[in-house]
Amino acid sequence: MSIEVTKAGMQTSIQDLGRQGLMHQGIATSGAMDTLSMQVANKLIGNPTNHPVLEICLVGPTLKFTQAMSIVICGATFELTVVNNKGSQKMANNQLIQIQVGDKLVFGKRRQGARAYLAFAAKLAIPEVLNSYSTHFLAKFGGLNGRQLKTGDVIELTDCQSPSPASAYVTAPLARSKLLASPFSGKYLLRCTTSVETEQFTPQQLQQFYATKYTVSSASNRMGLRLEGSALTELPAQNMTSSGLLPGSIQVPPDGLPIVSSVDGQTIGGYPRIANVISADLFALGQLIAGDQINFIQVNIKQAHEMLDSQHTWLNRF
Amino acid sequence: MTDYKWVTNGDTGVTILFSQPISEALSRRIIGLAKACEQQFPEQLIQVIPAYQSLTLCYLPSKISYQSLISQLEHLLEEPDRSDNTVSQKIVIPVCYAKEFAPDLQSLSQITKLSEQEIIRKHTEGEYLVHMLGFSPGFLYLGGLPCELTCPRKATPDLRVPAGSVGIGGAQTGIYPQNSPGGWQIIGRTPISLFDVKQQQPCIAQPLDTVIFEAISVSEFHHLSAISQNSTGQS
């Protein structure tokens, strides 16, 4: 029982909701960048929300299945095709896809967003490391041998839930929520609250930050998103001592261009933070691609918690 | 008089900042407070991150409200001394300072006006306190670098510093646990791994431990390196 990687794609990796509670050992959480799409994929297939998935980034893989099983793909949209000796069939996101033995799933042209999440109705036959299946790229552990998938890799599975033959290729439109209708437009409004060093920025600098339309730089990755736009000048002194750096923190290094920390980011940082993206919006960081436009808007802690709460409620409806 | 303040660190974080200068006493206080927080809020906190002069807590708003967390923290902070006075470990880290592992020893000698031998002597004479771990898995923030060894970071960071490299940057010395980019002056390399997920305790040291560097020869380096690779199974 396995999934064979016929073509690896740009950065395909095994991720779950990440490792919590180890940042004091220097261990970033890792895990899916877009935790919302990842959890919806698991929900649609009937898995626990923390079940490991494949995170597929920008250029998708081709996967061959040696076992019948159900899968669901959420998040970024690609041209999806299931190919076998009977021909080929187009597939879509947010639907149950019934895979038969020998089927190939081809991720073609990317349409919107950066990362797709493939959930499967099976268990991974690889060990958890530090309570998670997530791949930690820097320290090379977790996932499959601590790295992104390579062509020729075989992902061993157990407990596959095989569909009945009659239901082959019947796609069930499970997801009807408007919120799932391709929200990755390329223009984002990210909501923020204050951070540790916000007070060290002048009102003019804060005004400039919230008025600037930033562009996502190509030098962005799972550690952080680098932004381009009008640089902030006359920054606070950089001699502040390092402290705990949480995902979503927006640091301003000496060049004045913000960096938004993400799931693989360093756990302690030394640049002043102008703001933090709220928890309810962190999933969107996983869908940003070079050239996307971002504006930031400030909310208060109470509003941020209400937004997180309503997101949980929305997720629990599935 | 309070010598701390708390600030929000996003919508799920609170950072307590202490106004005292960096010291062992302050680190003992911060680690003591970190342990108290872990005990008092086992379900509510998902990260407790000590640093030189701060403690960052990441909480679940679904488990504890911001106001409740802050008021309970105020109580903890007002309580009598909670400093962590557990006897810490002394950890000896073997370092080979030979040229092949120390690309920047010569330029450090020029910067500090000390001979290479004097730099090695001073570096190995020091006792370094682990203030915290962070940045990347197993990276130790060490205090106690002799001030004569202070030197600027490189203007352009190296793209790839090998794992185990021992460097000096500013008033800090440290070891790169993984291959990574880095801007410190590299003066040696340790053959042992600082982070190994196969161990019960993956990091070689914990906050408040003391680190000592012990100079070893090239042949000892290769010998220890072989042992280390066999035990971790890493290539």
**Could you please report the per-residue DSSP string of B141-163?**
EEE---GGG-BPPPSS-EEEEPT
Mean pLDDT, residues B114-118: 97
The reported pLDDT for the residue numbered A174 is: 43
Q: Is A285 exposed, middle or buried (0-12, 13-18, 19+ CB in 10 A)?
A: buried
The reported pLDDT for the residue numbered A178 is: 45
Token pair of B182 as six digits: 């880095």
Residue B64 has pLDDT above 70, yes or no: yes
The reported pLDDT for the residue numbered A167 is: 42
Residue B73 has pLDDT above 90, yes or no: yes
Residue-wise pLDDT tens digits, A114-147: 999 999 999 999 999 999 999 999 999 999 999 9
Percent of chain A with pLDDT over 70: 92
Chain B residue with CA closest to A136: the answer is: B137
Q: How far is CA A313 from CA A34, A301, A308, A318, in A?
A: 17, 18, 9, 9
In this structure, the number of other CB atoms found within 10 A of the CB of residue B228 comes to 16
In this structure, the number of other CB atoms found within 10 A of the CB of residue B42 comes to 8
Task: pLDDT band for B154, please (50, 70, 90 cuts).
Answer: confident
Angle between helices B105-112 and B116-125 (to 10 degrees): 90
Mean pLDDT, residues A266-295: 95
Task: pLDDT band for B43, please (50, 70, 90 cuts).
Answer: very high
How far off is chain B from A268, nearest CA to CA, in Å?
5
The reported pLDDT for the residue numbered A163 is: 57
Residue A182 has pLDDT above 80, yes or no: no
User: Given CA atoms A178, A180, A184, A188 in this order, what sign does their dihedral have?
Assistant: positive
Mean pLDDT, residues B165-172: 92
Among candidate residues A225, A286, A215, the one with its CA nearest the CA of residue A250? A225
Task: pLDDT band for A175, please (50, 70, 90 cuts).
Answer: very low
Residue B94, strand partner residues? B214
Q: Is A276 in contact with A192 (CB distance < 8 Å)? A: yes
The reported pLDDT for the residue numbered A301 is: 97
Residue A234 has pLDDT above 60, yes or no: yes
Residue B41 has pLDDT above 70, yes or no: yes
Task: pLDDT band for B88, please (50, 70, 90 cuts).
Answer: confident
How far is it, in rounded angstroms, from Cα A210 to Cα A47? 39
The helix/strand/coil state of B197 is coil
Range of lowest pLDDT (A230-239, B73-82, B92-101): A230-239
Contacts of A140 in chain B (CB under 8 A): 178
The reported pLDDT for the residue numbered B171 is: 87
Q: B11, B15, B48, B136: which to substitute to probe chain A, counting the most A Cβ within 10 Å?
A: B11
Task: pLDDT band for A242, please (50, 70, 90 cuts).
Answer: confident
Mean pLDDT, residues A150-171: 71
Q: Is B28 in contact with B206 (CB distance < 8 Å)? A: no
Among candidate residues B131, B138, B161, the one with its CA nearest the CA of residue B53? B131
Q: Which helix (H) or strand (E) holds B58?
A: strand B54-59
Question: Which chain A residues touch B if contact means CB-CB below 8 Å?
Answer: 20-21, 23-27, 129-130, 136, 138-141, 193-196, 198-199, 241-244, 246, 248-249, 266-268, 273, 276-279, 301, 304-305, 308-309, 312
Asked if A26's CB is within 8 angstroms of B15's CB, the reply is no
Contacts of A21 in chain B (CB under 8 A): 46-48
Among candidate residues A224, A314, A235, the one with its CA nearest the CA of residue A276? A224
Query: Rounded to 5 degrees, what are φ and ψ at A119?
Result: -100, 145
Residue A241 has pLDDT above 80, yes or no: no
Query: Rounded to 5 degrees, what are φ and ψ at B39?
Result: -70, -45
Contacts of A26 in chain B (CB under 8 A): 133-139, 177, 195, 203
The reported pLDDT for the residue numbered B235 is: 39
Asked if A279's CB is within 8 angstroms of B53's CB, the reply is no
Q: Is B2 exposed, middle or buried (0-12, 13-18, 19+ CB in 10 A)?
A: exposed
Residue A254 has pLDDT above 80, yes or no: yes
Query: Rounded to 5 degrees, what are φ and ψ at B135?
Result: 75, -75
Residue A294 has pLDDT above 80, yes or no: yes
The reported pLDDT for the residue numbered A143 is: 97
The identity of residue A108, as a single letter, is: G
Q: Is A179 exposed, middle or buried (0-12, 13-18, 19+ CB in 10 A)?
A: exposed
pLDDT, chain B, mean: 93
Query: Comparing A94 with B222, which gets the higher pLDDT?
Result: B222
pLDDT, chain A, mean: 91
Token pair of A308 as six digits: 């997180």
The reported pLDDT for the residue numbered B232 is: 62
Task: pLDDT band for B179, please (50, 70, 90 cuts).
Answer: very high
Q: Which of A139, A196, A249 sits opposite B178 (nearest CB)?
A: A139
Mean pLDDT, residues A35-58: 95
The reported pLDDT for the residue numbered A179 is: 46
The reported pLDDT for the residue numbered A165 is: 45
The reported pLDDT for the residue numbered B84 is: 84
Asked if A243's CB is within 8 angstroms of B15's CB, the reply is yes
Residue B222 has pLDDT above 80, yes or no: yes
Residue A44 has pLDDT above 70, yes or no: yes
The reported pLDDT for the residue numbered B152 is: 86
Task: pLDDT band for B60, please (50, 70, 90 cuts).
Answer: very high
The reported pLDDT for the residue numbered B182 is: 85
The helix/strand/coil state of B35 is helix
Q: Is A286 in contact with A33 (CB distance < 8 Å)? A: yes
- pTM, entire model: 0.93
Residue B16 has pLDDT above 90, yes or no: yes
Among candidate residues A48, A49, A45, the one with its CA nearest the CA of residue A36? A49
